[in-house]
Amino acid sequence: MPLPTAGTLLPMTNTINAVVDTYIASWNEGDEARRRELVARAFADDARYLDPLMTGEGTDGIAAMIGAAQAQFPGHRFELAFGPDAHNDVVRFAWQLVGDDGPVAGGTDFATLADDGRLRNVTGFLETAHA
- Is the confidence at residue 45, as pLDDT, over 90? yes
Name residue 29's beta-bridge partners.
none
CATH number at residue 19: 3.10.450.50
Do the beta carbons of residue 82 and residue 43 sit within 8 Å?
Answer: no
46 domain residue, yes or no: yes
Number of domains making up the chain = 1
- Predicted structure pTM score: 0.87
56 domain residue, yes or no: yes
No. of H helices and E strands in the chain? 3, 6
CA angle 37, 41, 44 (to 5 degrees): 115
- Is the confidence at residue 12, as pLDDT, over 70? no
Among candidate residues 105, 83, 78, the one with its CA nearest the CA of residue 94? 83
For residue 54, give its domain range. Answer: 14-128
- Is the confidence at residue 122, as pLDDT, over 90? yes
pLDDT (average), residues 3-29:
75
Do the beta carbons of residue 115 and residue 3 sit within 8 Å?
Answer: yes
Output the average pLDDT for the chain.
90
9 domain residue, yes or no: no
pLDDT of residue 7: 47
**Residue 128 pLDDT grade (very low, low, confident, very high; cuts 50, 70, 90):** confident
What b/e readout covers 66-98, taking b as 16+ CB neighbours within 10 angstroms? Answer: beebbeeeeebebeeeebbebeebebbbbbbbb
- Residue pLDDT, tens place only, 50-106: 999 999 999 999 999 999 999 999 999 999 999 999 999 999 999 999 999 999 999
2 domain residue, yes or no: no
Alpha carbon 3 to chain centroid distance? 20
